[in-house]
Structure 1
Amino acid sequence: MSLIILAHPKFETSFANSTIIDVLKSSDLEIEIRNIHKLYPDYKIDAKAEQETLLRHQTIVFQYPIYWYNMPAILKLWFDVVFDYQFAYGSEGDKLKNRNFLPSFTVGAPEHEYQTLGDHHFRVYEFCKNLEQTAYYAQMNYVNPIYFHGTSLAAGYTADEVREKAKAHANNLVAKLEELG
């Protein structure tokens, strides 16, 4: 069974992330979805409850939109609170050892903007180094991110285009979760 940590501040109006979650829910996978914005609208994250949830799963997927080249604020706070000393790291902090850490996210801008000469100057993978190091520090198995570009309606994409790309993304995610077991 896989755990999906959903961190989208405006999930109700999302085309991409809501489509991904809908596809995951309709798959044959055994998954648990924790919408942390819905669980913690006041940002007061229950570390113990989240840690207990993590311990029930071998694969943890972090599903979110890229915000300012990073994860949304609540997900950063979630890591700060949940990946605690002597739980995720420290002399006795091996509780997440050998679990899979899989980022799954959406990127508003088109791929050509994430190039050296593009508006954002760096490839998306370069913005994932903090995730990779977090996984390694917690002794987890880092799985390369699954993501796609072009989710912003402001950038000229239509809702139907975004949904179609999101379905393809979700199918890739389902395949990866099946592969991971």
Structure 2
Amino acid sequence: MKKLVIVAHPNIESSVINKRWVNELEKHPDHFTIHNIYTEYPDGKIDIEKDQKLIEAHDALILQYPLYWFNCPPFLKQWLDDVFTYGWAYGSKGNMMKGRKIALAISAGIDKEDFQEDGEWKVTIEQLTLPFKTTALYTKSDYKGHFVLYDSHNAPNSDALEKSAEDYIKFAMNI
């Protein structure tokens, strides 16, 4: 089955990293369905049933986003709140996420060295993504970890952008 990639970038057209990743995903239409929630729902009104059916049609879910203030963009959080409903994603009768694979793809502007407990920000990417892992556990999903491009502000000026696109596809294919 194909993997559903939820792209949550508030301005994908001006993005370098996330737009490049989407372009790479588009080369593999047999493997990935791309669902850009900011483009799909410019008014912020999510079609919950439509997105739940979209998730149901895939065996894996990848949440792709730029790190914003050490978190995901607000619309991705709203999307999770709205789509992962009681009775569908969790609860006594909510089992639609059970066993479904979930992974993250994150572009982070900060150096990897700064995302250490003894680094500048005293926090790791694992700690920052813990709410996603916990959500997966709560919904009985299969959390597959994360792919991160650190220092993404400098990536467009180096070979890191192309390498990240290649590495991202390898990561996503193996989920």
Partners of 1:45 and 1:35 lie apart in 2 by 12
Q: CA deviation at 1:117?
A: 3.6
Q: Which moved more, 1:11-20 or 1:115-124?
A: 115-124
Helix, strand or coil for the counterpart of 1:144? strand
Q: Equivalent residue for 1:83?
A: 84
Is 1:105–1:147's contact at 8 Å kept on the other side of the alignment? yes
After the TM superposition, which residues 102-181 of structure 1 pair with which residues of structure 2 at under 5 Å, given as runs? 102-152=103-153, 157=154, 159-161=156-158, 164-180=159-175
Is 2:101–2:142's contact at 8 Å kept on the other side of the alignment? yes
Q: Equivalent residue for 1:26?
A: 27
User: Taking structure 2 as the reference length, what is the TM-score of the superposition?
Assistant: 0.93
Partners of 1:146 and 1:41 lie apart in 2 by 27
Is 1:59–1:101's contact at 8 Å kept on the other side of the alignment? yes
Q: CA deviation at 1:158?
A: 6.0
User: Taking structure 1 as the reference length, what is the TM-score of the superposition?
Assistant: 0.90
Helix, strand or coil for the counterpart of 2:105? strand
Counterpart check, 1:73 vs 2:74: yes
Code of the residue aligned with 1:166 in structure 2: it is L
Q: Equivalent residue for 1:54?
A: 55
Code of the residue aligned with 1:96 in structure 2: it is M
Helix, strand or coil for the counterpart of 1:80? helix
Partners of 2:161 and 2:21 lie apart in 1 by 6
Partners of 1:158 and 1:44 lie apart in 2 by 33
Q: CA deviation at 1:166?
A: 3.3
* RMSD of aligned Cα (Å): 1.5
Q: Equivalent residue for 1:35?
A: 36
Q: CA deviation at 1:29?
A: 4.4
Question: Structure 1: any 5+ residue segments left out of the alignment?
Answer: none
Note closer, same or farther for the CA distance 1:57–1:28 as it changes in structure 2 (3 Å cut). closer
Is 1:2–1:60's contact at 8 Å kept on the other side of the alignment? yes
Q: CA deviation at 1:17?
A: 0.6
Q: CA deviation at 1:127?
A: 0.3
Report how many aligned residue pairs link the two structures: 174
Q: Deviations over 1:128-175 (max 9, x none)?
A: 1100000111111001101110112xxxx26232xx323323322322
Greater RCO structure (CA 8 Å; 6+ sep): 1
Q: Equivalent residue for 1:10?
A: 11
4+ residue runs over 6 A deviation: none
Code of the residue aligned with 1:174 in structure 2: it is I
Partners of 1:91 and 1:30 lie apart in 2 by 32
Higher percent of residues as helix: 1
Partners of 1:113 and 1:42 lie apart in 2 by 36
